Amino acid sequence: MQSIFDLGLPGMEFNGPRIVIIGGVAAGATAAARARRQDETARITLIERGPYVSFANCGLPYRVSGDIQKRSSLVLQTPEGFFSRYRVDVRLNTEATAIDREARVVELTTTEEDGTVEQHELPYDALILAQGGSPIMPPIEGLDGPQVFRMWTIPDMDGVHSRIEQAAPESALVVGGGFIGLETAEAFIKRGLSTTVVEATPTLMPPADTEFGLRIAQSLRASGAQVITGLTVTRLAYDTETGRGTAHLSDGREIPADIVLVAAGVRPNTELAQSAGLEIGPSGGLVVNEELRTADPAILAAGDMIEVRRRVDGRRVRVPLAGPANRQGRIAAINAVGGSARYVGALGSSVFKVMEDTFAMTGLSEKAAREAGFDTGTMVVHRGSHAGYYPGATTLSLKLVYNKADHRLLGAQAFGAEGVEKRIDVAATALAGKLTLDDIAELDLSYAPPYSSANDPLNMAAFAALNDLSGYSPAISATELPVARATMLDVRTYGESSKDPVDGAVGIPLDELRMRMDELQKDARILVLSRDGYESHIATRQLKLAGFEKATYIAGGMLSLKNYRK
């Protein structure tokens, strides 16, 4: 198979460096376009093992759901388009089977549509590996059934789509409660399937902290889905005559599963790199330096397959997300043709739509921060997404994770119907700038009643965190309850308390507290509870100033406590 560059093109001279890019989706496609913008003479070849190049893998579930009507809109670029705009030689259905680093040659195997297989070699001056990852197939009996799918490529998506159209499934099972699994679960729900999600860890969305996993589960359940956590699927059965499938769970339960989507994580595609003797790091990703070069300076890598610097603490991790992949592809291309761009690392910002709600996070979760050894503090607030007097405001739940010693922000998570991703993007920018809680308390964010409040939820969360750290108004996380020998003081109004009572709590509405302090013991450990944590902060100040030294409020109030009742 000859290269278009060897064949010659009228009026063009391609005598520059031979750039071979393996992998044609996010990082690879970006690298190819950028390499051309760097060098009009470069001979750029893009190798893709699948039948599509540069497709919108993040959009696949939304095609199944019907949100995206036109399948073609997911194919962002074609080999023809790549050629006419960028003079890139795209080779589809082509697997890179080996790298001869000494000779600087890649061995390729192309499978034509008619099934013929052709093997060929491609020399390179610079090789960019952008092979991404592959879905992990967990050890479940019956994974080879006709009802079992993944959601990774356009053909995967087509398979799910036509299965729903043709086999008339009534029930769907999603194995795995991460981004792809839950986005596809939403698609199944929208298609009218009775949907179950099974996640092996204790809560959905394992990168998030527990309370957010529980909130996501609540959203899905409210939409009619069944959510099962802490169990695994052991066996999948399918009756080809009836079209009905069944899944057997590790506790012996059986659930209907006419169609099954396996989304149990992704492993990086490092086999080729490994067989070429390149180093794989402890995270499982390919090791690269800041210029995204491997130990072999002629081989660079980008995207889901590599190990990157986690910006918050410098740890080497895998961050398989589209944004970092695109920026890495750009940098790898610059360096492949002699530039010296540097990749600073990833924050791991992500966002995910769950029915009408949104969950987003950036930086370290509380559990990741503790695991990394930070002196970890957290604060949760539940505030209006915009001014309460302007119509349409919804409750936004925001959690800040920070280092107690120096007040530095480590991460943030948020859940709600509006403005979630805004607050997380602000937090991501705060992480990039190494801002502290003090900085965030003073952040001037844009305010008008349809968009926010004069003090944004981010300001409020930082205020509350600082008040906790200084002892001005100490708070306890809802996750730390119950506390032995403590008095729970409920300062909600009588109406609120009677609608949603708390066992064993002393009820004194906030506006009566000053007059009724003699009902409380001065030296008691008092845990003040309010609807969302704000009025209990006011009560805690009154108590502290009146000499109740051990007054503390429950951060996030009832709204946080509720997330711990499954």
Interaction of residue 17 with a second copy, rule CB under 8 A: no
Scan residues 162-221 and list those touching a second copy (CB under 8 A). 179, 183
Q: 482 preceded by cis ω (within 30°)?
A: yes
What are residue 235's DSSP bridge partners? 141, 248
Interaction of residue 528 with a second copy, rule CB under 8 A: no
Per the structure block, which two tokens stand in for 199?
């996640």
Part of the chain binding a second copy (CB under 8 A), chosen from 141-149, 246-254, 360-368, 497-505: 360-368
What are residue 121's DSSP bridge partners? 107
Scan residues 391-430 and list those touching a second copy (CB under 8 A). 391, 421-422, 424-426, 428-430
Shortest CB 286 distance to a second copy, Å: 20
Catalogue the active-site residues. Answer: 58
Size of the site for a second copy (CB under 8 A): 89
The span from the first CA to the last CA of the chain, in angstroms, equals 60
Interaction of residue 322 with a second copy, rule CB under 8 A: yes
Question: Residue 336 to residues 3, 130, 399: CA-CA distances in angstroms?
Answer: 19, 13, 41
Of 279, 296, 313, 439, the residue at the interface with a second copy (CB under 8 A) is 439
| Composition of the chain by helix, strand, coil, percent to 5 | 30, 30, 40
Part of the chain binding a second copy (CB under 8 A), chosen from 136-144, 242-250, 278-286, 350-358: 350-358
Of 267, 522, 541, 562, the residue at the interface with a second copy (CB under 8 A) is 541
Instruction: Let me know: does 399 contact 420? Beta carbons within 8 Å.
Output: no
Distance CA 77, CA 56 (A): 10
Identify the DSSP state of 258: S
Of 454, 494, 500, 521, the residue at the interface with a second copy (CB under 8 A) is 454
Shorter beta-carbon distance to a second copy: residue 114 or 518: 518
Part of the chain binding a second copy (CB under 8 A), chosen from 43-51, 72-80, 268-276, 550-558: 72-80
Of 348, 507, 533, 557, the residue at the interface with a second copy (CB under 8 A) is 348
Backbone angles phi, psi at 400, to 5 degrees: -105, 140
Distance CA 419, CA 392 (A): 12
Scan residues 326-345 and list those touching a second copy (CB under 8 A). 326-327, 343-344
Interaction of residue 433 with a second copy, rule CB under 8 A: yes
Show the DSSP H helices in 284-341 as ranges. 322-336
Of 449, 506, 550, 561, the residue at the interface with a second copy (CB under 8 A) is 449
Shortest CB 266 distance to a second copy, Å: 16
Interaction of residue 446 with a second copy, rule CB under 8 A: yes
3 state DSSP class of 108? strand
Distance CA 394, CA 113 (A): 52
Shorter beta-carbon distance to a second copy: residue 301 or 354: 354
Distance CA 31, CA 23 (A): 10
Per the structure block, which two tokens stand in for 258?
């006419």
Residue type at 113 in one-letter notation: E
Part of the chain binding a second copy (CB under 8 A), chosen from 58-66, 96-104, 155-163, 482-490: 58-66
Shorter beta-carbon distance to a second copy: residue 1 or 546: 546
Interaction of residue 103 with a second copy, rule CB under 8 A: no
Handedness of CA 376, 304, 415, 184 (dihedral sign): negative
Of 387, 417, 481, 486, the residue at the interface with a second copy (CB under 8 A) is 387
Angle at 263 between CA 257 and CA 264, to 5 degrees: 110
Interaction of residue 566 with a second copy, rule CB under 8 A: no
Shorter beta-carbon distance to a second copy: residue 104 or 492: 492
Shortest CB 411 distance to a second copy, Å: 12
Shorter beta-carbon distance to a second copy: residue 199 or 456: 456
Shortest CB 363 distance to a second copy, Å: 9
- Residue 165 class from Cβ within 10 Å (0-12 exposed, 13-18 middle, 19+ buried)? exposed
Per the structure block, which two tokens stand in for 5?
């560059």
Neighbouring C-beta atoms of residue 101, cutoff 10 Å: 17
Shorter beta-carbon distance to a second copy: residue 389 or 504: 389
Could you give the count of Cα atoms lying within 13 Å of 159 in the half-sphere of its Cβ? 15
Shorter beta-carbon distance to a second copy: residue 257 or 364: 364
Interaction of residue 295 with a second copy, rule CB under 8 A: no
